[in-house]
């Protein structure tokens, strides 16, 4: 038996306070250019608090499936990488999925991977065409896969990167890399004349590329836009932790109902009490704010069958 197999599964989306990034993408969801190359964490106390959150997660009496995000890039922070290593060796972790831009150095990655339990490591690698060459990015993905880690290559489609995304698709096919395609959102108004999903404004967008978008049926997105009253398992088998270590039943509740936080992962005395009922009527007045959240709507839970060690459905076959 693998350690932790007897435990109840719990999915966690943790957005850590790591702030430093080596890329300057115009469409960054973290609202570039607020991220800098010099300030590693949002606050001076954040590094220590991040470690407290990691240790809290490692003590949970659940089989944890962790998606680990930040406003920055993991491979520019030795402290952050050390926390990933710690997580991979925690008996209760089924896997830790690290969001990265794939810009690591070869020797740096070799040192990192040698310290990990690679069987529990997933790298969700997003390709940013303006910041890294295709050849370097794909080489990094191949290196990671060769090390034994699970690798999911992620492409976000925007009006100005369709050619680059097509080239990435061809390279992934050539090397047998798993490719997840999503539609980029105009969150920080990088495309002033564009809609919320600016690539859909393009009349010349390649239909074969758009067809790779891992999208749920339209009924799901109708519900995502107005989920109030819809049954959802957030708070039962899924929680969200923000960069202040506040634990919420989901990212959406953290935004609209911050006073309903479940507790603080930085508090060593905080005991997580999950809802016993699988589904509970959503109370949010607005749309679900992220895919990590809305994948826990009952309508979606009944459709998706995730087969890879990832929190996100990474192929059309997984969403039913």
The answer to whether residue 259 sits within a structural domain is: no
- Report the distance separating Cα 296 and Cα 237, nearest Å: 9
pLDDT tier at 214, thresholds 50, 70, 90? confident
Q: Sheet of 63-69: strands edge to edge?
A: 178-183, 150-157, 121-126, 93-100, 63-69, 9-15, 238-241, 246-248, 263-264
Instruction: Indicate whether this model's pTM tops 0.85.
Output: yes
pLDDT given for residue 121 in this prediction: 98
- DSSP for 37-105 reads SS--BSSTTHHHHHHHHHHHHHH-SSEEEEEEE-SS-GGG-HHHHHHHHHHHT-TTEEEEEEEE-S---
pLDDT > 90 in the chain, percent: 73
Pairing of strands 63-69, 9-15: parallel
Domains held by the chain: number: 1
Closest CA to 215 of 279, 157, 153: 157
The answer to whether residue 231 sits within a structural domain is: no
Task: Check which CATH number belongs to the domain holding 200 and give it.
Answer: 3.20.20.70
Range of the domain at 203: 9-216+304-319
The answer to whether residue 20 sits within a structural domain is: yes
Q: Which of 18-22, 229-233, 246-250, 270-274 is predicted with the least confidence, judged by mean pLDDT?
A: 18-22
Pairing of strands 246-248, 263-264: antiparallel
**Looking up tokens 């090397």, which residue turns up?**
175
The answer to whether residue 262 sits within a structural domain is: no
Greater confidence (318 vs 111) lies with 111
In eight-state DSSP terms, residue 318 is: G
For the chain, the residue count is 320
The answer to whether residue 3 sits within a structural domain is: no
Q: Is 207 helix (H, G, I), strand (E, B) or coil?
A: helix
pLDDT given for residue 185 in this prediction: 87
Instruction: Judge contact between 188 and 158, C-beta under 8 A.
Output: no
- Report the distance separating Cα 95 and Cα 34, nearest Å: 31
The answer to whether residue 298 sits within a structural domain is: no
The answer to whether residue 183 sits within a structural domain is: yes
The answer to whether residue 79 sits within a structural domain is: yes
Cis omega (within 30 of 0) for bond into 33: yes
């Amino acid at each position: 038996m693998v350690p932790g197999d007897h435990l109840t599964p719990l999915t966690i989306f943790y957005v850590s306070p790591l702030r430093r990034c080596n890329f300057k993408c115009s469409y960054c969801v973290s609202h570039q250019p607020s991220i800098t190359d010099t300030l590693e964490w949002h606050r001076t106390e954040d590094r220590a608090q991040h470690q407290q959150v990691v240790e809290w997660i490692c003590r949970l009496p659940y089989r944890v499936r962790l998606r680990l995000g930040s406003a920055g890039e993991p491979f520019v922070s030795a402290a952050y990488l050390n926390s990933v290593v710690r997580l991979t060796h925690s008996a209760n972790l089924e896997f830790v999925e690290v969001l990265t831009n794939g810009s690591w150095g070869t020797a740096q990655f070799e040192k990192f991977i040698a310290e990990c339990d690679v069987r529990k490591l997933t790298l969700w690698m997003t390709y940013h065409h303006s910041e890294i060459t295709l050849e370097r990015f794909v080489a990094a993905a191949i290196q990671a896969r060769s090390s034994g880690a699970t690798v999911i290559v992620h492409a976000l489609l925007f009006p100005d990167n369709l050619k680059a995304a097509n080239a990435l698709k061809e390279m992934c096919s050539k090397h047998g890399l798993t490719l997840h395609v999503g539609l980029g959102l105009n969150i920080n108004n990088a495309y002033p004349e564009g809609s919320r999903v600016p690539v859909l404004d393009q009349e010349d967008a390649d239909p074969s590329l758009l067809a790779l978008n891992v999208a749920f049926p339209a009924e799901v997105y109708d519900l995502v836009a107005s989920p109030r009253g819809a049954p959802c398992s957030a708070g039962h088998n899924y929680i969200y932790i923000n960069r202040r270590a506040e634990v919420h039943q989901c990212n959406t509740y953290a935004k609209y109902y911050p006073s309903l936080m479940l507790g603080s992962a930085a508090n060593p005395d905080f005991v997580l009490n999950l809802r016993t009922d699988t589904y509970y009527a959503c109370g949010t007045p607005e749309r679900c704010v992220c895919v990590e959240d809305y994948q826990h709507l009952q309508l979606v839970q009944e459709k998706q069958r995730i087969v890879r060690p990832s929190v996100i459905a990474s192929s059309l076959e997984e969403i039913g």
